[in-house]
Amino acid sequence: MNHTFLRRIVPLLVAAYVVLFGAVAEASHFRFGNITWSIPDPVGAPRTVRFVVTHGWAAGSESSVGLNFGDGTTFTGMGTTIGTGTDVAGTRYSILQFTTTHAYAASAGAGPFTVFFSSCCRIAGLTNGANGSFRVETRVSLAPGNTGGPVSSAPAIISLSAGAVRTYLFPVFDPDFDPVSCRFATMAETGFTPPIPAVPSGGATPTVGTRFATAGPAKVGLRVTDNDGATAETTRTIQVTPQIVTTDVTGPSLKPGRTRVRLTKGRVAVTLTCPATETTCRIGVRLRGAGPLAGKVLGSGNATLAGGRSTTLRIALSKAGKARVRRTGAIRTTVVVSATDGAGNRSVTRTAVRVAR
């Protein structure tokens, strides 16, 4: 059997709505957990399973975990530190990992066996399950041909900006090339206390639209299941950070497309483009005289444009302007463009334009 891991991408869309971000009062305790399993020798030892347990804690509060194999036996392990980090609130955490094997008795059958560890407590400051009990589990199936459960990996703490639906991609692997489905884990599977994300019907795109009551970190459990009934569950902290808001305080800057134009049927053509970065542009144009016609308004026009669109205003030249063009062949004007964007920001540009007959 080919044991190459099949990679699947399972997107998690998280809607984080936050009004105020305060300092996170994170005490000690549990930050993250994950259990993966595989059968190293499916031919010679098809009932011996290797477990890799990864668990994360606030720095200085690392603890061992008691792994229940689902057949009445347990193993307590702590492992070694494989990584450290600091979340956006400045709180340090450590990630530990250990590996253990367990042989299931033939009399126990093919399972499935629910393998888990649970205890207390989660960190304080969570918007769901603060200081509550935690549980991390996986399901082992020893059905023929099954060499391991799905594997999902991601950082222990995932930072997402508030204010909109955000997308995070969890890589998921299955050693047997089984198709997988995913959903958010239930309260019984994770130990979450309300409010918890709603559990969708399954499939490749679980979506949480929970409005978190307060700002800060929230726990999310993702459960992945293959065709053999083997599961993987991962619990992550979604760290909601303040929305970065860029305030548009600058009006659109519009200038005529040409600085030399011809008088056609008594009109002056002025081409303008609303920048693609704007939603709309409300435009007012005036032709002001120069030289002997200084101080005179020689014509005006207006238009409203969507962002990225262009228009050509054909502005009727005043009698004084036409007369001057007939006598001298050309006049100098200043095209004054006043533009207001959808946010109400206004700007004015002035461009010298030569009008010839």
Q: Which has more confidence, 88 or 255?
A: 255
pLDDT value at position 279?
A: 85
Rg for the chain (alpha carbons), in Å? 33
Question: By 3-state DSSP, what share of the chain in percent is helix, strand and coil, each rounded to 5?
Answer: 5, 50, 45
Assess contact for 204 and 181: CB atoms under 8 A: yes
C-alpha to C-alpha distances, 247 to 68, 223, 251, 345, nearest whole angstrom: 53, 39, 12, 11
pLDDT value at position 166?
A: 60
CATH number of 260-356: 2.60.40.2550
**Average pLDDT for the chain:** 76
Band (60; pLDDT cuts 50, 70, 90): confident
pTM (whole model) above 0.75 = no
Assess contact for 320 and 290: CB atoms under 8 A: no
Q: Which has more confidence, 164 or 223?
A: 223
pLDDT value at position 232?
A: 61
User: Which helix or strand (DSSP H or E) is residue 187 part of?
Assistant: helix 187-190
79 φ/ψ angles, rounded to the nearest 5 degrees: 85, -160
pLDDT value at position 53?
A: 93
Tell me how far apart the alpha carbons of residues 216 and 212 are, in angstroms, rounded to a whole number.
9
Q: Say whether pLDDT at 221 is over 80.
A: no
Least confidently predicted of 31-35, 138-142, 173-177, 320-324 = 173-177
* Sheet architecture: strand order including 330-341: 297-306, 280-289, 330-341, 346-356, 260-264, 267-273, 310-316
What tens digit of pLDDT does each residue of 76-107 get?
999 999 988 887 677 888 999 999 999 999 99
CATH 2.60.40.2550 domain extents, the chain: 260-356
> Per the structure block, which two tokens stand in for 348?
């004015």
